[in-house]
């Protein structure tokens, strides 16, 4: 090869190497990763809902990361959600929380909705200075400053449900109750009875039902003997809610039913199976594909449709807000210290959520301002169709 050609190749190669190193020198530093744990009952009762919550959490993770992640003091952090199956048991919650805290070393944890299970998780997180946002519950204590509720409390919609029922069914004077044998469900039923009495209604004896059983005929027989005008079907998992509605109608109850528990309208209709039985039931939910959906919900529906064939629902979508609210709090605190982020969460007036602006509440009610009070939808099943009633302000002072 001629000398001139060899020299030319050497120059070209050297120039290429210089450009590579120059590019490396100018490349921005790779963002750090912020691990956030999530508890989900991927097996056991309610697994369908928890799988949807897992997917919405991961969608929110990707959405935040594509927008630049979480910025703290000028540094970018990409979120990595670590999901653990709780098996929908109290012991499973303890095992999953322990793994996430000690093995995965997360400082922020999401998920959980049943009071005893939330108590179990908090026993792990509080003493190890981990900030915990449960999906929904009425478990809030002043001695748990790092434990928050991400989607108001189960009891919060009750007043709105009673007022909506009395407007739609003004002849209601007597309320019957079917209550699950579970501490949280019993507490909600007692609150419901107080709200009923405050409105001048007569309350009947609570009929206690074994937790998780879907056989409600014995309880309905007792309720119907009391001759109620309406019934509070109580705090239940979605399959139980559908079974309770269906069996009550099958036994001839014609009055309105209500329950302060979420549940996808389409799922309830499918599980009840008959439009004649799926009627006159009010509860805090809405059809996210209906006209009452917010602009953000419509955006999330499109994101969901990119990777899922089955429709999404409000129960799954609520998990988006848990992570989104946490991300907003971390950026506002400009800190990754859970204690500092908790202080900001408690003091911040409003947050953005898929349902609209949410307010922090609970200071007067619970002694600690650790409840994210989002706008609450109230809907009704009427002759097999979904009717949106109103948005209700569930703010708890």
User: How would DSSP label each residue in 286-312?
Assistant: --TTSTT--HHHHHHHHHHHHH-SS--
| Cβ atoms within 10 Å, residue 113 | 27
**Alpha carbon distance 144, 146 (integer Å):** 6
| Residue partners of 121: CB distance under 8 A and separation at least 6 | 39, 93, 94, 97, 109, 112, 132, 134
pLDDT value of residue 28: 60
**Alpha carbon distance 330, 342 (integer Å):** 9
pLDDT value of residue 12: 47
**Alpha carbon distance 256, 166 (integer Å):** 10
**Alpha carbon distance 329, 343 (integer Å):** 9
What is the pTM (predicted TM-score) of this model? 0.87
Burial class (CB in 10 A: 0-12, 13-18, 19+), 296: middle
**Alpha carbon distance 308, 220 (integer Å):** 38
pLDDT value of residue 14: 46
User: Could you read off the pLDDT tens digit of each residue along the chain, which spans 397 residues?
Assistant: 444 444 444 444 444 444 444 444 455 667 799 999 999 999 987 788 899 999 999 999 999 999 999 999 999 999 999 999 999 999 999 999 999 999 999 999 999 888 889 999 999 999 999 999 999 888 789 999 999 999 888 999 999 999 999 999 999 999 999 999 988 899 999 999 999 999 999 999 999 999 879 999 999 999 999 999 999 999 998 889 999 999 999 999 999 999 999 888 998 999 999 999 999 999 999 999 999 999 999 999 999 999 999 999 898 999 999 999 999 999 999 999 999 999 999 999 999 999 999 999 999 999 999 999 999 999 999 999 999 999 999 999 9
Q: Each residue of 232-244: b (16+ CB within 10 Å) or e? A: bbbbbbbbbbbbb
Q: What are residue 315's DSSP bridge partners?
A: none
Q: Quote the tokens at residue 168.
A: 């739609």
Q: Residue 83 belongs to what H/E stretch?
A: strand 75-85
**Alpha carbon distance 242, 274 (integer Å):** 11
- Provide Rg for the chain, Cα atoms: 25
**Alpha carbon distance 30, 32 (integer Å):** 7
pLDDT value of residue 27: 56
Domains parsed from the chain with CATH numbers: 32-154+293-375 (3.40.50.2300), 158-283 (3.40.50.2300)
| Residue partners of 166: CB distance under 8 A and separation at least 6 | 172, 199
């Amino acid at each position: 090869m001629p000398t001139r050609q060899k020299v030319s190749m050497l120059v070209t190669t050297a120039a290429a190497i210089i450009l590579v190193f120059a590019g490396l020198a100018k490349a921005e530093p790779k963002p750090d990763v912020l691990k956030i744990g999530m508890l989900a009952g991927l097996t056991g009762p309610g697994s369908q809902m928890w799988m949807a919550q897992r997917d919405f959490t991961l969608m929110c993770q990707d959405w935040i990361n594509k927008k630049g992640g979480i910025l703290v003091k000028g540094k970018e952090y990409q979120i990595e959600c670590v999901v653990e199956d709780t098996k929908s048991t109290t012991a499973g919650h303890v095992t999953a929380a322990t793994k996430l805290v000690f093995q995965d070393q997360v400082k922020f944890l999401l998920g959980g909705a049943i009071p005893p299970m939330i108590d179990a998780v908090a026993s792990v997180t509080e003493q190890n200075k981990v900030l915990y946002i449960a999906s929904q519950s009425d478990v809030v204590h002043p001695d748990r400053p790092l434990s928050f509720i991400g989607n108001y409390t189960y009891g919060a919609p009750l007043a709105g449900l009673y007022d909506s029922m009395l407007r739609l069914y003004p002849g209601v004077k007597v309320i019957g109750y079917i209550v699950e044998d579970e501490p949280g469900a019993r507490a909600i039923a007692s609150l419901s009875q107080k709200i009923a009495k405050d409105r001048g209604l007569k309350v009947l004896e609570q009929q206690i039902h074994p937790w998780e059983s879907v056989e409600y005929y014995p309880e309905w027989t007792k309720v119907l003997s009391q001759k109620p005008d309406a019934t509070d079907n109580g705090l239940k998992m979605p399959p139980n809610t559908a079974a309770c509605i269906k069996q009550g109608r099958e036994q001839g109850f014609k009055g309105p039913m209500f329950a302060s528990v979420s549940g996808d309208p389409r799922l309830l209709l499918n599980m009840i199976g008959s439009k004649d039985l799926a009627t006159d039931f009010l509860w805090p939910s809405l059809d996210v594909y209906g006209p009452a959906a917010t602009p953000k919900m419509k955006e999330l529906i499109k994101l969901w449709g990119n990777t899922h064939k089955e429709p999404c629902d409000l129960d799954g979508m609520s998990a988006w807000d848990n992570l989104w609210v946490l991300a907003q709090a971390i950026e506002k605190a400009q800190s990754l210290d859970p204690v500092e982020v908790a202080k900001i969460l408690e003091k911040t007036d409003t947050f953005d959520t898929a349902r609209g602006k949410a307010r922090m509440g609970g200071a007067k009610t619970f002694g600690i301002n650790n409840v994210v009070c989002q706008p609450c939808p109230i809907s009704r099943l009427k002759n097999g169709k979904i009717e949106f009633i109103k948005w209700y302000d569930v703010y708890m002072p």
